[in-house]
């Protein structure tokens, strides 16, 4: 009898399961460089605000750019469906837990007004900010030219999972190499989580890849679809694809870890796993300037037939500047994210993000099972 052939499963890891090992050398945090580059754009901090309606609006995008990062405005959300988004955001904030999913489904079923796309982009540009906008693949061919005309700087094509080859009979799939030729701005595409998928996307000529399926706090994709890869492994795999692609093409395409980063420690681990930048949702929704007023919800939540998400109460804990740069009296890692990154890099003895990619990591038990057990026996 032949040996049975069983399907093999690879072990994967999430933020809570790993830790960064200090280096043999240490360095003062003020000597670290954390620049992030996408084609000709250079950002002084490697942090993007997510294209979520509770996180990014025109004001937050302007502020984020001023602070050195980049916010992405969602062109398929409330900002382009409603002349007065504020009204709708208040309504969502006031809905009860039982009411909120049907309400979101209704809110997001209103048509997108094409005129608002241009208006929002121009408002961001007028504030002197770099303007990044996001569209779902199915709307890209229609909205990309409008965004280009309004002089958006960077386009993000994003859905739960986006591949270089999509099969559909209802419409001709989006071809990224064609899109790239038709518009001149950098294209960031996401999300993906595996080596091959990432490599194929990079080969279409795009400018950046968003990494992450299922990990976000406001997302229930793993519960509903069973799909997802924990972020440490997803980032490690896509970083390997980036490095392989650089070897074959000479072109360095940055990867952005998107989703599941809830505290400074997670952010530092993303970089140690290979991220060039991170995209933050719920942790930035805590900012006073965030449109969600202390709440957050995922962009798959309003799906009409298969909603995947939770409205999360994140609270309003400080200004965006405090969350990014401190100073702070909060000790749970949710503020002074940039300070945390520089401190971790100092401990690892690395001078820039690419050196941080080489920091050693270990698989470690979740924090709650290490050394803190006696506290429980106290109560």
Q: How many CA atoms lie within 13 A of 105 on its CB side?
A: 12
Look at residue 363 and give its three-state secondary structure: strand
Kindly state whether residue 328 participates in binding a second copy, applying the rule CB under 8 A.
yes
The residue to which tokens 């959300």 are assigned: 77
Smaller CB separation from a second copy, 81 or 357: 357
- Is residue 178 within the footprint of a second copy (CB under 8 A)? no
| Residue from 87, 175, 73 nearest 134 by CA | 73
What is the C-alpha separation between 303 and 105, in angstroms, rounded? 6
Smallest distance, Å, CB 317 to a second copy? 9
214 near a second copy, rule: CB under 8 A:
yes
Shortest Cβ 236–a second copy spacing (Å): 5
166 near a second copy (CB under 8 A): yes
H-helix or E-strand spanning residue 330: none
Stretch that binds a second copy, among 113-121, 127-135, 234-242, 249-257 (CB under 8 A): 234-242
Q: Is 355 exposed, middle or buried (0-12, 13-18, 19+ CB in 10 A)?
A: middle
Whether the upstream peptide bond of residue 327 has omega within 30° of 0, thus cis, is yes
We find the least distance from the C-beta atom of residue 2 to a second copy, in angstroms, to be 7
**Interface with a second copy includes 365 (CB under 8 A)?**
yes
Interface with a second copy, residue 283, by CB under 8 A: yes
Which one is catalytic: 192, 219, 268, 348? 219
131 catalytically annotated: no
- Provide, rounded to whole angstroms, the least separation between the CB of residue 246 and a second copy: 12
Interface residue with a second copy, options 269, 277, 278, 285 (CB under 8 A): 269
For residue 320, which of 5, 109, 70 has the smallest C-alpha distance?
70
Question: Is residue 231 within 8 Å of 192, Cβ to Cβ?
Answer: no
Which one of residues 84, 111, 128, 372 is an interface residue with a second copy (CB under 8 A)? 372
For residues 218 and 295, give the distance between their C-alpha atoms in angstroms, rounded to a whole number. Answer: 10
Of 74-133, binders to a second copy (CB under 8 A) are 101-102, 105
Q: In terms of CB distance, is 28 or 84 closer to a second copy?
A: 28
- Whether the bond into 54 is cis, omega within 30 of 0: no
Binding a second copy by CB under 8 A: which of 46, 190, 254, 260? Answer: 260
Does residue 148 bind a second copy (CB under 8 A)? no
Does position 322 interact with a second copy (CB under 8 A)? The reply is no
Distance of CA 314 to the CA centre of its chain: 17
Residue 206 · residue 187 · CB < 8 Å: yes
Should residue 11 be labelled a site residue for a second copy when binding is judged by CB under 8 A? Answer: yes
How many angstroms separate the CA atoms of 253 and 211, rounded? 12
Taking CB under 8 A as the rule, which mask of x and - marks residues 36-65 in contact with a second copy?
------------------------------
The minimum distance between CB 316 and a second copy, in angstroms, equals 12
Q: Tell me: does residue 250 bind a second copy (CB under 8 A).
A: no
Question: For residue 97, how far is the Cα from the chain centroid?
Answer: 25
- Dist. CA 340–CA 48, nearest whole Å: 16
Residue selected from 27, 95, 127, 148 as contacting a second copy according to rule CB under 8 A: 27
| H or E segment to which residue 48 belongs | strand 47-49
Of 149, 223, 246, 249, the residue at the interface with a second copy (CB under 8 A) is 223
Rule CB under 8 A: say whether 158 interacts with a second copy.
Answer: no
Q: How far, in Å, CA of 219 to CA of 307, rounded?
A: 10
Least separation in angstroms between CB 92 and a second copy = 14
Binder of a second copy out of 236, 253, 256, 284 (CB under 8 A):
236
The Cα diameter of the chain in Å comes to: 73
| Residues with catalytic roles | 219
């Amino acid at each position: 009898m032949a040996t049975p052939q069983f399907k093999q499963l690879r072990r994967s890891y999430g933020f809570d399961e790993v830790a960064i090992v200090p280096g043999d050398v240490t360095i003062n945090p003020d000597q670290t460089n954390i620049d992030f580059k996408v084609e000709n754009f250079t950002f002084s901090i490697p942090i993007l605000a997510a294209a979520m309606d509770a996180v990014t609006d025109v004001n937050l995008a302007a502020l984020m750019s001023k602070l050195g990062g980049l916010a992405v405005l969602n062109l398929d959300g409330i900002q382009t469906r409603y002349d007065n988004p504020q009204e709708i955001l208040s309504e969502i904030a006031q809905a009860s837990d039982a009411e909120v999913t049907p309400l979101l489904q209704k809110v997001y079923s209103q048509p997108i007004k094409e005129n608002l796309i241009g208006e929002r982009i121009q408002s961001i540009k007028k504030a002197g900010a770099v303007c990044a906008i996001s569209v779902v693949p199915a709307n890209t061919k229609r909205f990309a030219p409008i965004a280009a005309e309004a002089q958006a700087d960077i386009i993000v094509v994003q859905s739960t999972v986006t591949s270089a080859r999509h099969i559909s009979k209802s419409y001709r799939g989006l071809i990224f190499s064609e899109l790239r030729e038709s518009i001149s701005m950098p294209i960031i595409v996401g999300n993906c989580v595996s080596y091959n998928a990432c490599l194929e996307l990079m080969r279409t000529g795009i400018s950046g890849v968003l990494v992450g399926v299922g990990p976000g706090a406001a997302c229930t994709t793993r519960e509903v679809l069973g799909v997802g890869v924990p972020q440490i492994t997803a980032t490690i795999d896509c970083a390997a694809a980036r490095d392989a692609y650089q070897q074959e093409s000479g072109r360095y395409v940055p990867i952005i870890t998107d989703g599941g980063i809830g505290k400074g420690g997670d952010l530092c681990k993303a970089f140690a796993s290979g991220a060039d930048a991170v995209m933050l949702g719920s942790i930035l929704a805590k900012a006073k300037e965030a449109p969600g007023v202390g709440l957050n919800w995922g962009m798959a939540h309003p799906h009409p037939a298969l909603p995947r998400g939770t409205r999360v109460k994140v609270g309003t804990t400080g200004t965006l500047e405090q969350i990014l740069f401190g100073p702070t009296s909060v000790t749970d890692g949710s503020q002074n994210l940039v300070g945390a990154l520089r401190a971790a890099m100092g401990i690892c003895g690395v001078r820039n993000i690419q050196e941080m990619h080489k920091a050693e990591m270990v698989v470690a038990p979740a924090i709650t099972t290490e050394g803190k057990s006696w506290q429980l026996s106290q109560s």
